[in-house]
Amino acid sequence: MALRVRLRTKLALVSLVLLIVPWTGYRYIVEMERFLLEGQQQALLATAKAIATTLHEKPALMRLTTPLRAPRQETDAATDGSAPVETAIPVPADMGQSADRDASREDESLAELLRGAERSNVRLWIANREFKILAVAGSLKPAEADGEPGRWQRLLAWLIHPPARDFDDAFDEDMLAAGPEVTGALLGAGGTRVRNTRDDRAVVVSAAHPIWAADNVVGVVVAEETTNPILSVKNEALGRLVILTLAALGAVGLFLLGFASRLSARIRRLRDEAESAVDARGRIASLATASTAGDEIGDLSRSFSTILGRLAQHHAYLESLASRLSHELRTPVAVVQSSLDNLRMEGVSPQAAVYVERAGDGLTRLSRILSRMSEASRLEASLVARERERYDLSTVVGNCTEGYRLAYPAQDFVLEVPGFPVMVNGSPDLAAQLLDKLAANAADFSSPGRPIRVALSAAAGRAVLAVANNGPCLAEGTAGKLFDSMVSIRPGGGEEPHLGLGLYVARLIAEFHGGSIAAENLPGRDGVAVVVTLPTAP
Amino acid sequence: MARTIAIVEDDPAIRANYVDALRRQGYEVSAHADRPAAMAAFAIRLPDLALIDVGLGDEPEGGFELCRSLRAMSARLPILFLSARDSDFDIVSGLRLGADDYLTKDISLPHLLARVAALFRRVDALTAGSPGEEVLERGELRLDAKRFVVSWRDRPVDLTLTEFWMVHSLAKFPGHVKGRDQLMRDAQLVVDEATITSHIKRIRKKFAAVDPGFDRIDTLYGMGYRWTSDGA
């Protein structure tokens, strides 16, 4: 079975295309983050550079244990004996207390320097070329909690993780040594690096800048900062994006849903109208009201209404055709009739009288056809104003069958009626007319010598009247059409004209009684039963 | 003096045929094709009987109009509708306007002539006021087959000629079932069976107007009708 997807569902699926909007927003935010990160790196590098600049040409502060490779110029200067660098460079192994004191003083001054350049959440390092950390200042962690996260942020926490406040900011000298930015700086080129903290809970951006002493790199300044500020900005943007997108999607979704509902409601209404416009008998029961909407559905509704209108006209024309035709033909028939009568009265020769009689016979048949043709439409017209009464159907059936025994002397009738009255609502005259049609029909098709069975039964609020005869079966597919106007399924010929209105009249009467009529082959396929089902009147 | 009959019929062939047939019977016939011509003629002299078609030329209901005018001129002039229209509605409308009978055009000329003669007899009997010889009495029902008057419990029942003949046919042999065909024959009528049903209904109504408890006409579905005598 094909999956039935409603218009509303389809439109909802189509509206998923709107998800491209938040995606674009997300891409933009990622781009922004990258840009900010770059800015942060530059800023850190600038900080590191600034500090490094103040430390240039002060190799003593670096407390190197290995001598510097003296640059040529320095060597020239050293011959003057005024180069303190060389004197300071060798660090004897037995430096002793004073050297320690010196070192702590120098560290003190470095720390002083760093504190001066310190910014919140930025950690500054100074290390010498031997990866010995000389001074540290600042902390990667924020000094104090920067406000509680907003309600929305908390709501979206499952989606957007707030930057970790609590991470392992322990410093690892190996990491420092392994850091490409530090080694890069020691080789003379400042650089930046983005790395994770050891516990992977935060991302740290670090920038390193070399400290020069003449041509030698004597140390590095490292500035570190977590990307948390950027993350905060990004998260805020993401949160706003999510909320805005959700709101927009919700609004658009609601709007589309409403639109689709209205659209499908209109289409459904049109469908219902179209379906109810034609009743079970294929007649135009009511015209669809043309919508005044200016769109395509309105157009469809209008053209539907027009088509139905035309169809109804044509239908009415066809239906009235038989009665109009019979009415129109009545006058010329009357002319022929009165002329023949006059001819008879004038007296004609015996030879001519034969022809007058034949003409009379033909005319009689013609008149009968005409009255049959108008019978159905006359009945239809009279049904509208006909009063209903409650009567015993079994009496009518019994009486009628008695009558048929007289009317069809060559035909046997078997009557089966229940021993109690079967009360129905309708018109006994019409019921008799219905039975007349069924009996006439059964008599026409009955095999000679076989009885026609007229059976009435009542159960569960229904009266079932069956008229069955032995004879030819109904061909497949014809059973339903039998009761339509002007449908006759007969082998052909015969004296009596057959217009296919008899069973149609029967159906009109059955429907007048609120019931239905159907024809079916007998179980043994040796005849046909016409079954009328009527609701009983309690 | 020959009786005069006016025929108002728009179809020239039918008109001529009816005129010929009636003239052959010795009636003096004047034929008119439409309502104004007929009204002009009636203004000068009223006929003894009028035979009117319902649809007259451009006027689909011209015959009804004419009947109303004629009834206004004379209360006793026999008026006979002769129309191709055979719906219950038309028949009821025609009879309500005061027509004595409503016939459809498939009636044969001999039947028509018989009706015309019967109507004249009824008029004669009414004007003469003499008691008829052919009186049929069935309990409280009294049928005067000469004057075509019916009374029930000594009160007159106003039946048309068709209805009279039907009642006559039924009451002649009380208890006998008369089929629709037979009723049609006795009433000298060629109509379909549904029309017989509505005739019977009208007859019952007319009797019921005189006696609300009237229930003498039995319907035997599929067979016909019968007149039940007292206590039957």
Q: Smallest CA–CA separation between B214 and chain A, in Å?
A: 18
Question: In a 3-state reduction of DSSP, which class is residue A371?
Answer: helix
B87 contacts in A (CB within 8 Å)?
378, 381
**Do B221 and A367 make contact, defined as CB atoms within 8 angstroms?**
no
**Do B221 and A371 make contact, defined as CB atoms within 8 angstroms?**
no
B17 contacts in A (CB within 8 Å)?
335, 338-339, 341-342
**Per-residue confidence in pLDDT tens, chain A, 538 aa:** 466 777 778 877 887 888 888 889 889 989 998 999 999 889 888 888 888 888 887 777 776 666 665 544 444 444 444 444 444 444 444 444 555 556 667 777 777 777 777 777 788 888 877 777 777 777 777 765 555 556 666 666 676 777 777 777 766 666 666 677 888 888 888 888 888 877 777 888 888 888 888 788 888 888 888 888 888 888 888 888 888 888 888 888 888 888 888 888 888 888 888 777 776 556 666 666 677 777 888 888 888 888 888 888 887 787 777 767 777 788 888 889 889 989 888 888 888 888 988 998 898 888 877 777 777 777 777 777 777 888 888 888 888 888 888 888 888 888 888 888 888 888 888 888 888 888 888 888 888 888 888 889 888 888 899 998 888 887 776 666 677 766 666 655 455 556 667 788 888 888 888 888 888 888 878 888 889 999 888 7
Size of interface A-B (CB pairs under 8 A): 97
- Is A357 touching B (CB cutoff 8 A)? no
**Do B85 and A327 make contact, defined as CB atoms within 8 angstroms?**
yes
ipTM above 0.85, yes or no: no
φ/ψ region of A246 (left if φ > 0, alpha if ψ in -120 to 50, else beta) reads alpha
Q: What is the Cα–Cα distance from B44 to B27, expressed in whole angstroms?
A: 19
Q: For the whole model, what pTM was predicted?
A: 0.55
CB A404 within 8 A of CB B222: yes
pLDDT of the residue at A223: 86
**Do A367 and B190 make contact, defined as CB atoms within 8 angstroms?**
yes
pLDDT of the residue at A224: 85
Q: Smallest CA–CA separation between A449 and chain B, in Å?
A: 22
pLDDT of the residue at A267: 85
**Do A338 and B18 make contact, defined as CB atoms within 8 angstroms?**
yes
- Is A325 touching B (CB cutoff 8 A)? no
pLDDT of the residue at B41: 92
pLDDT of the residue at A194: 84
B85 contacts in A (CB within 8 Å)?
327
Angle (CA) A140-A146-A148 rounded to 5° is: 135
- Is A120 touching B (CB cutoff 8 A)? no
Q: What is the Cα–Cα distance from B230 to A460, expressed in whole angstroms?
A: 40
pLDDT of the residue at A228: 82
Q: What are phi and psi of B212, to 5 degrees?
A: -60, -20
Q: What is the Cα–Cα distance from B35 to B102, expressed in whole angstroms?
A: 18
**Do A428 and B221 make contact, defined as CB atoms within 8 angstroms?**
yes
pLDDT of the residue at A94: 45
Residues of chain B short of pLDDT 50, as ranges, are 232
pLDDT of the residue at A90: 43
Q: Smallest CA–CA separation between B24 and chain A, in Å?
A: 9
Name the residue among A375, A382, A403 with its Cβ closest to that of B88. Answer: A382
Bridge partners, residue A466, by sequence: A455, A531
Q: What is the Cα–Cα distance from B15 to B21, expressed in whole angstroms?
A: 10
**Do B190 and A433 make contact, defined as CB atoms within 8 angstroms?**
no
- Is A475 touching B (CB cutoff 8 A)? no
